[in-house]
Each structure stands twice: as structure tokens, then as C-alpha cells.
Amino acid sequence: MTGTPRIRVLFDEETIARRNEELAQEIARSKPENLLVVAVLKGSFMFAADLIRALHRAGLEPQVEFVHLSSYLDGTVSTGQVAILRDVESDVRGRDVLLVDDILESGRTVTFAKDLLMARGAKRVMTAVLLEKPGKRAVSIDADFVGFTCPDVFVVGYGMDVAHSYRQLPFVGVVDHLDRNPDLFDRPAEAQASR
Ligand code: 5GP
Ligand code: MG
Ligand code: MG
């Protein structure tokens, strides 16, 4: 690809900011106790950072943790296996956990993380995702808190990448030409591991 690809804005900064405040209010209404936010790296880092500050404004005092997960791909197709690249440090026993991820697609990543935290003795694991792609679930799971329903296109920005790029964008967008065929980008193994 030559030149700078154009990015079509799907969810702009203001829309995301407004929705984050609403999500934080919804989360506060669930009355979490001793709340631990666990953000799934890398894609959710920007959403998590904004959501955590919105949670503060909504009157919550969460602690914050990170887990870095990778979906193993066979070529460009998910094999359904998830690996832990970096684990949470805190003991989750008896705690209300809010798992935060960027996109709920097949549902494998969120299911894996939720099962892991429950197996470690969390009292309750709620899930918040910025985006949900309907009709793509391989595992039956719904997020408790969803920012937006996302069309079935490959999105970037607001923390999300393709081949390590575009995470810095303050909005969620679609890269021209990539929306119909993400496989046009030849993703190296490392990039696949950070999905
Ligand atoms: P799943 O729900 O299939 O286990 O995994 C969803 C993960 O795949 C997300 O956390 C995200 O990292 C990645 N993913 C799914 N759809 C997209 C997309 O449209 N754009 C980007 N950048 N990543 C995606
Ligand atoms: Mg990725
Ligand atoms: Mg991810």
C-alpha cells in the first residue's frame, strides 16, 4: 500500500466520551464492592484509561490491574486458543472484578479471562467491552456493559491496531480497503500474538 491510507471515522471522540460516562453510571448502579478493574492488553488500554476515570467521576474507587492475552492464530484464522502473556498480580479472591476489553467478537478472549478469574475465586466477574460485533460469537457469552454495537468490519484506533499501527487514534475507524479484507495486511506472528 502506498501513501497514508484514509481512515473512515466510525465512532468519534465525543461520542465515545459520552458513552464512557453512561457506562460508568451503569457500572456504578451494579453496586460493585471492593472493585478490581482488569484491563485486557493491549487493545483495551485507551478505553480502560478513560473508563476508569469515568468510574471515579461516578463515585467508584476501583483498583486497576492488567492481563495481556493472545489469541493464537493459524494463518489468519483463530484456533480458539488463548495464552497469557502477562498475568494479573493481585489476588482476586472474593472480589468484584470488572473485566475490560476492546471488542467482543468470537467471545473466546473474554470467556477465557472470565473463567480464569472465576477459577481463582473472584466473587463476581462483570465484563465491559467498548465494541461488540453481533453474529460473530463462537462461544456463548454476552458482555454486561457494551459501548457500541460494531458493524462487521475491521476497526482500528482508540487502542486497537492492525500490525501494531493506529492505536494512537483518539477515535474508532476503518482503514480504507481494509474493511472488506483485513488479510490484505500481512500480519507478522508478533502482531497476531498481540491481537
Ligand atoms: P474474540 O472475541 O474473537 O476472542 O477476540 C476479540 C479480539 O480480537 C479483540 O479483543 C481484538 O483484540 C481482536 N479483534 C477483533 N475484531 C477486531 C477488529 O475489528 N479490529 C481490531 N483491531 N482487533 C479486533
Ligand atoms: Mg490487534
Ligand atoms: Mg484483544
Instruction: Give pLDDT, residue 108.
Output: 94
CB of residue 103 inside a 6 A radius of ligand 1: yes
State the cell numbers at 132: 461488540
Q: How confident is the model over 70-77, as a mean pLDDT?
A: 67
Domain residues for the domain of 136 are 13-150
Residue 105 · residue 41 · CB < 8 Å? no
In a domain, 189, yes or no: no
Cα 186 to ligand 2 centre (Å)? 13
In a domain, 21, yes or no: yes
**pLDDT tens profile 124-178:** 999 999 999 998 889 999 999 999 999 999 999 999 999 899 999 999 999 877 6
Q: How many domains is the chain built from?
A: 1
In a domain, 165, yes or no: no
In a domain, 30, yes or no: yes
The answer to whether residue 193 scores a pLDDT higher than 80 is no
Q: Give the closest ligand to the alpha carbon of residue 112.
A: 1
The answer to whether residue 2 scores a pLDDT higher than 80 is no
Task: Give the helix ranges, DSSP H, for 4-61.
Answer: 13-29, 45-57
Instruction: Give pLDDT, residue 6.
Output: 86
Q: Sorting pLDDT into bands at 50, 70 and 90, what band is 77?
A: low
CB of residue 160 inside a 6 A radius of ligand 1: yes
Instruction: Give pLDDT, residue 189.
Output: 33
In a domain, 180, yes or no: no
Cα 153 to ligand 3 centre (Å)? 15
In a domain, 118, yes or no: yes
Supply the residue whose CA is at minimum distance from atom 8 of ligand 1: 195
12-33 burial, b for 16+ CB within 10 Å, e for fewer? eeeebeebbbebbeebbeeebe
State the cell numbers at 140: 456463548
**pLDDT tens profile 9-58:** 999 999 999 999 999 999 999 999 999 999 999 999 999 999 999 999 99
- Dihedral sign from CA coordinates of 142, 164, 171, 60: positive
The pick from 11, 68, 160 for probing ligand 1's pocket by mutation, whose C-beta has the most ligand atoms within 8 angstroms, reads 160
CB of residue 159 inside a 6 A radius of ligand 1: no
Angle at 18 between CA 14 and CA 21, to 5 degrees: 145
- Compute the distance between CA of residue 62 and CA of residue 36 in angstroms, rounded to an integer: 5
The answer to whether residue 188 scores a pLDDT higher than 50 is no
Q: What's the CATH number where 118 sits?
A: 3.40.50.2020
In a domain, 119, yes or no: yes
Cα 170 to ligand 2 centre (Å)? 16
Instruction: Give pLDDT, residue 186.
Output: 43
Residues 6 or more apart whose Cβ sits within 8 Å of residue 54? 20, 21, 23, 24
In a domain, 40, yes or no: yes
